[in-house]
């Protein structure tokens, strides 16, 4: 009976209830500092919990439960929140002059798989259309929905019914999307540059037009590893789309079976062996 009553659901994790700090005259300065530290810790824990929930749900759920007594939670959620509390507390305060942009930059460029000194790769750079790394297939792209079979093909054939959120959620989704301000390269605010950008995407076969857009995306560029063309190193840029608004409209994605690196290596070994025969 005890095993059957156990709650095995972990996500979405509840957040900690953070009390508002009152300012009574009788409270000493040391007590105020201790309460400030506790509130700051609980807010940082809630940020971590919101990030984990967004990974699971595909969006940040604003209606998540807030609790002030961990002992009333199921064992899995209780132990998870205690672990997060312990790890956030052990991390200590953020380093001096820390910023969100700096953290994202460090995560993006750390451990570059290209090897060597690649500190400049992955940095946000002003968009230069002649350096954009785009496909050169023109309008001869393959319609994936026509060749993909199985469950994945079903999702592409019926995106409205299988991939998007239920219509009952559209109201609060619209409000949530309205609070997100997509990031765009400053050059795209100039009409002439923006039209030239659209023409380049159209010529590459990766752009289409609609009279009824539902969501907006932002666009900017990061530096990419240079390429040797006719003996000359040509600088390149990778186009990045800010799809945070669009991602809100989708349900949590289904599980996908991905091939392992050894399997990919076996494929290349087999192809190389056949080419030598």
Q: Supply the pLDDT for residue 144.
A: 73
Q: Supply the pLDDT for residue 245.
A: 86
- Span 179-201, mean pLDDT? 92
Is the pLDDT confidence value at 3 over 60? Answer: no
Is the pLDDT confidence value at 2 over 60? Answer: no
Confidence class of residue 195 from pLDDT cuts 50, 70 and 90? Answer: very high
Domain contains 129: yes
213-233: burial string, b at 16+ Cβ within 10 Å, e else: eebeebbbbbbbbeeeeeeee
Q: Which domain holds residue 134?
A: 116-259
Domain contains 64: yes
Note whether 60 and 178 are same-domain residues.
no
Note whether 205 and 76 are same-domain residues.
no
Domain contains 66: yes
Note whether 224 and 133 are same-domain residues.
yes
Q: Supply the pLDDT for residue 63.
A: 76
Confidence class of residue 20 from pLDDT cuts 50, 70 and 90? Answer: confident
Note whether 35 and 84 are same-domain residues.
yes
- Angstrom distance (rounded) from CA 58 to CA 62: 13
Note whether 248 and 121 are same-domain residues.
yes
The predicted-structure confidence for 119-174, as pLDDT tens digits, reads as follows 456 788 999 999 999 877 555 556 777 777 777 788 888 888 888 888 777 777 77
Q: Supply the pLDDT for residue 60.
A: 65
Is the pLDDT confidence value at 46 over 70? Answer: yes
Note whether 30 and 152 are same-domain residues.
no
217: Cβ contacts below 8 Å, ≥ 6 apart: 182, 241, 242, 243, 245, 246
Sign (positive or negative) of CA dihedral 152, 158, 162, 165: positive
Note whether 155 and 60 are same-domain residues.
no
Domain contains 214: yes
- Span 185-196, mean pLDDT? 94
Domain contains 204: yes
Note whether 151 and 253 are same-domain residues.
yes
Note whether 64 and 159 are same-domain residues.
no
Confidence class of residue 238 from pLDDT cuts 50, 70 and 90? Answer: very high
What is the number of structural domains in the chain?
2
**CA-based R_g, the chain, Å:** 25
Note whether 145 and 207 are same-domain residues.
yes
Could you tell me which residues are beta bridge partners of residue 16? 67
Note whether 29 and 131 are same-domain residues.
no
Q: Supply the pLDDT for residue 240.
A: 92
Q: What is the mean pLDDT of the chain?
A: 78
pTM of the prediction? 0.48
Residue 163 is encoded by which pair of tokens? 């991939």
The larger pLDDT score, comparing residue 64 to residue 118, is at 64
Is the pLDDT confidence value at 217 over 80? Answer: yes
- Angstrom distance (rounded) from CA 277 to CA 265: 19
- Angstrom distance (rounded) from CA 68 to CA 81: 12
């Amino acid at each position: 009976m005890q095993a059957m009553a156990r709650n095995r659901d972990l996500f979405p994790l509840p957040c900690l209830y953070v009390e508002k700090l009152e300012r009574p005259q009788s409270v000493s300065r040391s007590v105020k500092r201790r309460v400030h530290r506790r509130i700051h810790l609980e807010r940082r824990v809630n940020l971590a919990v919101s990030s984990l929930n967004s990974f699971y749900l595909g969006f940040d759920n604003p209606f998540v439960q807030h609790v002030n007594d961990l002992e009333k939670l199921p064992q899995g959620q209780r132990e998870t929140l205690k672990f997060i509390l312990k790890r956030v507390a052990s991390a200590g305060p953020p380093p001096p002059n820390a910023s969100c942009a700096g953290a994202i930059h460090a995560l993006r460029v750390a451990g570059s798989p290209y090897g060597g000194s690649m500190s400049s790769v992955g940095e946000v750079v002003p968009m230069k259309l002649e350096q954009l790394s785009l496909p050169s297939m023109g309008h001869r792209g393959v319609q994936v929905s026509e060749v993909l079979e199985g469950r994945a093909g079903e999702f592409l054939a019926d995106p409205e019914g299988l991939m998007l959120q239920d219509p009952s959620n559209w109201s609060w989704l619209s409000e949530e999307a309205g609070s997100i301000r997509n990031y765009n390269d400053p050059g795209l605010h100039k009409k002439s540059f923006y039209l030239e950008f659209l023409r380049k995407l159209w010529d590459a076969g990766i752009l289409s037009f609609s009279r009824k857009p539902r969501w907006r995306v932002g666009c900017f560029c990061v530096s990419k590893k240079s390429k040797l063309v006719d003996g000359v190193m040509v600088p390149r840029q990778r186009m990045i789309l800010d799809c945070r608004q669009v991602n809100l409209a989708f349900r949590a994605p289904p599980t996908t079976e991905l091939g392992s690196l050894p399997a990919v290596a076996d494929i290349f070994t087999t192809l190389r062996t056949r080419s030598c025969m």
